[in-house]
Amino acid sequence: DIGDGLDTSRPKCYILDMFPYPSGAGLHVGHPLGYTATDILSRFKRMKGFNVLHPMGWDAFGLPAEQYAIQTGTHPKTTTARNIDRFRIQLKSLGFSYDWDREISTTEPAYYKWTQWIFLQLLKRGLAYQ
């Protein structure tokens, strides 16, 4: 269970990075550059006694994934899954303190069903338009 051993009396801290687009062959120098600061903050907060939630995820829909699939001649679902695996291995090798048990992927129906639902609610109220 996720909450096993969690001391709920401790203060909470939620640290979220911008999810990378796994649309290329691997990480570039800009990824660890941006993630280093949040990793330092996460570690600092843990040392100060906070319960820290620091998840990682993948923002894998859209033009970058489609373009990479076209360049490689492979279906986007295949290239995205392969690239997510590569990115995960690379990030883990850098030693960042992500909560990998709470990994998120925008390609999963359990995730995007809610973003689509929210969009439809905005559209019904005239708050979304093309």
120: CATH: 3.40.50.620
Under 8 Å CB-to-CB from 50, ≥6 apart: which residues? 10, 11, 12, 13
pLDDT digits (tens, 9 = 90+) for 10-69: 999 999 999 988 877 788 888 888 899 999 999 999 999 999 999 999 988 778 778 888
Angle at 103 between CA 100 and CA 106, to 5 degrees: 160
- Number of structural domains (the chain) is 1
Q: Flag whether 22 is in a domain.
A: yes
- Asked, for residue 130, whether it belongs to a domain, the answer is no
Query: To 5 degrees, how large is the angle CA 21–CA 25–CA 30?
Result: 55
Does residue 5 lie within any of the structural domains?
no
Domain span holding position 107: 12-125
User: Does the predicted model carry a pTM greater than 0.85?
Assistant: no
Assess whether pLDDT exceeds 70 at residue 101.
yes
